[in-house]
């Protein structure tokens, strides 16, 4: 079986959907241009027709609203935002409309729309070409949020999202596009059955990630193994609604929890996972204080040295993981606290 | 399509007070118009009274005075069309055949409501009659109607996306994006602006350089018409060819219906103290009453007597009273409903 990369896997997902589900349409900016969406939609317009794969005007709000409306009127529409930062302009159709219609209309209307947002950051692109806003959207009841971290999930979570009866925000990250793997045969998937997944098992610590952060966790696991530490890596896959039984069971076993998240610390997914697991487990289950590695609470910088400081690395994740396992308090605040106490 | 950039006499409260021209419309059809408009007015008055009596708590935006727009337009719509409304949608809902009992139950937050008691006045739904939903986010449903029209085009069907909105919505960015998108992709959308000259408390003269919003349709090269929204026959007759054209050729059309609301932005009061000039204008606008003008037109052609009108009104009033009393007896939603409807197939978290 030949290997495909993450971007190609997304494309295979779209191809499967367009071939097998005649009610699927795609719309958004740049769908006829590799410049916007990389290799994730190449030639879909020529293969399936420009009436089903629609390149649109620069109107994030109207195009997203149109996808919601089309989904209320018989289609499974997918609207693509080649850069998540610009999707902020479409917040009303996502947050006020798609996420609310089922509940506020008494369960009679289900906009089965998929909103695909691409995180595209690094490379000195700066504060408005960098954002990973998944936690914002995962806050909203009624809006399912998925973030694939593997090649297989890039395709399969897309299929599950588009076939879901609910609105789904599917978020992929350009930093994952070169990841390669073999793919199983595609089929239909039911999103409500998809749970967080243990990608690598271990006994000393549970590291939870999503999207690119899961790949950082996997690398950190390898680094920790050189110190004879065994980390269990769990990939969240679905950020809303959260189903944390897998994480709960894992932490019961390891007694340690580290969450890696590509968003900001404040009110982020990292905090949400820590709080939820802390609430569920008895005090005696914990061998160390749970920790998170996130972005600092600043906009993304452009200058290279600042950018290197800004984004979490596998080394940083491993360092915190090791400190948790060895019982060493590493954070600057903790060091200061300890210094103050000993004084 | 080019025209003078403002509404002229259509926006002047001292004009268009006379009987409407009933043209070649048959008496039975006109009686249906009259019946629907009276039903809407009496339902709205009932809701207004019940707000004042503190029986209704949810915000209700009444369309008293604006009945002819929805009723005239409904003549040309079908049940498979996707009609989207606004915060002020009771009239639209009733005009296409929505059940007054389900409207009343909804404003009371009861399970028999149009949205099973989960939406209130501003969230109405009845796909059986073509009403796909209403929301209070200004301009929020405009792109949704464009999407419904996209669905028709992709599926090669001839239903329409229809959005009602007020003049205030034309100040939203998404309105312009939606018009452009519908025009660029050639989608069968009916944009219906009920221009009642007010957005909340503020008159259009203080918000826009012209009081006619059809100029935006010109800018997006969308075929459009400006009409007297308080003349039900004119609305029905003049919108018919445009709507037919949208259906046949899959193109958007824009309708600006000039009207005036008799009550305030929200609730039963007349808001005489909040709007510039409103106190002077309201009594004059009431002379452009869409119901009385139809009655006058029919009377002039001997299709209706004063007695007919009186008894029709009484008959409908009785219906409305009974319907309200019945709605008050409907149950509240069960506690489980808070969680049951967040997703299609899965409960929301407590």
Token pair recorded at residue A154: 């890039």
Q: Residue B74: is its pLDDT beyond 90?
A: yes
A60, A73, A102, best to mutate vs chain B, most B CBs in 10 Å:
A73
CB of A49 within 8 Å of any CB in chain B? Answer: no
Q: With bands split at pLDDT 50, 70 and 90, how would you rate the model's confidence at B4?
A: low
Q: Residue B321: is its pLDDT beyond 70?
A: yes
Show residues of chain A in contact with B117, CB under 8 Å. Answer: 106
B86, B122, B343, B347, best to mutate vs chain A, most A CBs in 10 Å:
B343
Mean confidence (pLDDT) of chain B = 95
Separation in Å, CA of B308 to nearest CA in chain A: 39
Q: Residue B142: is its pLDDT beyond 90?
A: yes
Separation in Å, CA of B119 to nearest CA in chain A: 5
CB of A110 within 8 Å of any CB in chain B? Answer: yes
Q: Which of B145, B154, B161 sits opposite A25 (nearest CB)?
A: B154
A249-286 tens-digit pLDDT: 999 999 999 999 999 999 999 999 999 999 999 999 99
pLDDT for position B276: 65
pLDDT for position B284: 95
B124, B147, B157, best to mutate vs chain A, most A CBs in 10 Å:
B147
pLDDT for position A121: 94
Are the Cβ atoms of B341 and A77 closer than 8 angstroms?
no
pLDDT for position A38: 84
Residues B313, B320 contacting (CB under 8 angstroms): no
pLDDT higher for B277 or B144?
B144
How many whole angstroms separate alpha carbon B212 and alpha carbon A225?
A: 71
Segment A199-225 shows an average pLDDT of 98
CB of B350 within 8 Å of any CB in chain A? Answer: no
Are the Cβ atoms of A62 and B113 closer than 8 angstroms?
no
Show residues of chain B in contact with A106, CB under 8 Å. Answer: 113-119, 125, 341
The share of chain B scoring above pLDDT 70, in percent, equals 98
> How many residues can be counted in chain A?
343
pLDDT for position B347: 84
pLDDT for position B301: 95
Q: Residue A36: is its pLDDT beyond 90?
A: no
Q: Residue B94: is its pLDDT beyond 60?
A: yes
Segment B13-29 shows an average pLDDT of 95
Task: Give the helix/strand (H/E) hosting A127.
Answer: none
> How many residues can be counted in chain B?
350
Q: Residue A333: is its pLDDT beyond 90?
A: no
Q: Which of A169, A189, A164 is nearest to A118 (CA)?
A: A169
The share of chain B scoring above pLDDT 90, in percent, equals 91
Nearest chain A Cα to B82, which residue? A73
The share of chain A scoring above pLDDT 70, in percent, equals 95
Count Cβ atoms within 10 A of the Cβ of residue A309 and give its class: 0-12 exposed, 13-18 middle, 19 or more buried: exposed
Q: With bands split at pLDDT 50, 70 and 90, how would you rate the model's confidence at B43?
A: very high
CB of B58 within 8 Å of any CB in chain A? Answer: no
Q: Residue A337: is its pLDDT beyond 60?
A: no
What's the pTM value of the predicted model, to 2 decimals? 0.95
* B274 phi/psi in degrees, rounded to 5: -105, -25
Are the Cβ atoms of A61 and B135 closer than 8 angstroms?
no
Are the Cβ atoms of B119 and A144 closer than 8 angstroms?
no
Q: With bands split at pLDDT 50, 70 and 90, how would you rate the model's confidence at A341?
A: very low
Separation in Å, CA of B127 to nearest CA in chain A: 9
DSSP B175-220: HHHHHHHHHHTT--EEEEEEE-SEETTEEGGGT-SSS-TTHHHHHT
pLDDT higher for B18 or A37?
B18
B241-251 tens-digit pLDDT: 999 999 999 99
Token pair recorded at residue B310: 């009186």
Q: Which of A73, A101, A109 sits opposite B147 (nearest CB)?
A: A73
Nearest chain B Cα to A51, which residue? B154
CB of A280 within 8 Å of any CB in chain B? Answer: no
Count Cβ atoms within 10 A of the Cβ of residue A152 and give its class: 0-12 exposed, 13-18 middle, 19 or more buried: middle
pLDDT for position A329: 52
Nearest chain B Cα to A76, which residue? B151
Q: Which of B140, B150, B173 sits opposite A70 (nearest CB)?
A: B150
Segment A191-216 shows an average pLDDT of 98
Segment B156-176 shows an average pLDDT of 97
Q: Which of A52, A96, A166 sits opposite B343 (nearest CB)?
A: A166
Q: With bands split at pLDDT 50, 70 and 90, how would you rate the model's confidence at A37?
A: confident
Q: Could you tell me the strand order of the sheet in which A231-235 lies?
A: A197-200, A231-235, A205-209, A257-264, A291-295
pLDDT for position B280: 86
pLDDT for position A103: 97
A219-232 tens-digit pLDDT: 999 999 999 999 99
Residues A283, A319 contacting (CB under 8 angstroms): no
| B:256-285 residues touching chain A, CB 8 A cutoff | none
How many whole angstroms separate alpha carbon B142 and alpha carbon B125?
A: 16
Show residues of chain A in contact with B159, CB under 8 Å. Answer: 73
């Amino acid at each position: 079986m030949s290997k495909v990369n993450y971007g190609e896997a997304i494309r295979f997902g779209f191809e499967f959907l367009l071939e097998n589900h005649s009610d699927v349409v795609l719309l958004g900016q740049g769908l006829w241009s590799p410049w916007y969406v990389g290799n994730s939609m190449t030639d879909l317009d020529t293969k399936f027709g420009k009436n089903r794969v629609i390149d649109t005007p620069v109107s994030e709000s109207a195009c997203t609203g149109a996808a919601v409306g089309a989904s209320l009127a018989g289609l499974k529409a997918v609207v693509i935002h080649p850069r998540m930062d610009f999707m902020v302009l479409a917040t009303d159709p996502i947050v006020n409309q798609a996420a609310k219609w089922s509940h506020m209309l008494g369960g009679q209307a289900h906009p089965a729309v998929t909103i695909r947002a691409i995180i595209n950051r690094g490379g000195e692109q700066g504060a408005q070409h960098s954002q990973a806003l998944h936690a914002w959207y995962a806050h909203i009841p009624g809006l399912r949020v998925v973030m694939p971290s593997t090649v297989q999930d890039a395709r399969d979570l897309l299929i599950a999202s588009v076939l879901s009866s609910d609105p789904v925000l599917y978020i992929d990250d350009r930093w994952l596009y070169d990841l390669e793997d073999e793919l199983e045969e595609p089929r239909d998937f039911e999103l409500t059955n998809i749970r967080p997944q243990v990608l690598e098992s271990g006994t000393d610590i549970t590291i939870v990630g999503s999207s690119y952060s899961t790949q950082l966790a996997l690398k950190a696991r390898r680094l920790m193994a050189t110190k004879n530490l065994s980390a269990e890596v769990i990939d969240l896959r679905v950020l809303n609604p959260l189903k944390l039984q897998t994480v709960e069971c894992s932490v019961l076993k390891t007694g340690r929890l580290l969450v890696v998240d590509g968003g900001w610390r404040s009110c982020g997914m990292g905090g949400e996972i820590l709080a939820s697991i802390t609430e569920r487990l008895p005090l005696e289950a914990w061998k160390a204080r749970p920790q998170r590695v996130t972005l600092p609470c600043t906009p993304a910088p452009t200058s290279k040295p600042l950018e290197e400081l800004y984004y979490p690395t596998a080394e940083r994740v491993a360092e915190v993981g090791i400190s948790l396992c060895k019982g060493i308090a590493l954070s600057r605040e903790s060091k200061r606290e300890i210094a103050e106490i000993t004084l | 399509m080019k025209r003078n950039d403002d509404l002229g006499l259509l926006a002047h409260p001292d004009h268009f007070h006379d009987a409407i021209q009933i043209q070649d419309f048959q008496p039975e059809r006109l009686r249906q118009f009259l019946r629907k408009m009276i039903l809407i007015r009496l339902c709205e008055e009932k809701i207004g009274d019940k707000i004042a009596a503190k029986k209704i708590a949810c915000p209700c935006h009444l369309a008293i005075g604006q009945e002819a727009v929805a009723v005239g337009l409904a003549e040309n719509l079908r049940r498979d069309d996707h009609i989207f409304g606004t915060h002020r949608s009771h009239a639209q809902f009733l005009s296409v055949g929505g059940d007054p009992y389900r409207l009343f139950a909804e404003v009371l937050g009861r399970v028999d409501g149009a949205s099973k008691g989960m939406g209130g006045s501003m969230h109405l739904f009845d796909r059986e009659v073509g009403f796909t939903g209403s929301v209070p986010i200004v301009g929020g449903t405009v792109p949704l109607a464009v999407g419904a029209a996209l669905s028709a085009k992709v599926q090669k069907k001839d239903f329409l996306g229809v959005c009602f909105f007020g003049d205030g919505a034309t100040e939203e960015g998404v309105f312009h994006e939606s018009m452009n998108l519908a025009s660029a992709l050639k989608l069968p959308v009916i944009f219906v602006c009920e221009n009642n000259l007010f957005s909340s408390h503020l008159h259009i003269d203080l918000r826009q350089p012209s009081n006619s919003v059809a100029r935006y349709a010109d800018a997006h090269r969308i075929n459009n018409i400006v009409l007297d929204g308080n003349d039900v026959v004119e609305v029905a007759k003049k919108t018919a060819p445009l709507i037919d054209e949208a259906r046949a050729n899959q193109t958007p059309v824009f309708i600006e219906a000039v009207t005036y609301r008799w009550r305030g932005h929200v609730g039963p009061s007349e808001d005489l103290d909040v709007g510039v000039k409103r106190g002077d204008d309201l009594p004059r606008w009431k002379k452009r009453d869409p119901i009385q003008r139809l009655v006058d037109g029919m009377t002039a052609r001997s299709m209706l007597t004063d007695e007919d009108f009186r008894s029709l009104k009484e008959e409908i009033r009785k219906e409305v009273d009974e319907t309200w009393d019945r709605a008050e007896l409907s149950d509240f939603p069960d506690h489980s409903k808070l969680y049951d409807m967040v997703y299609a197939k899965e409960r929301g978290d407590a």
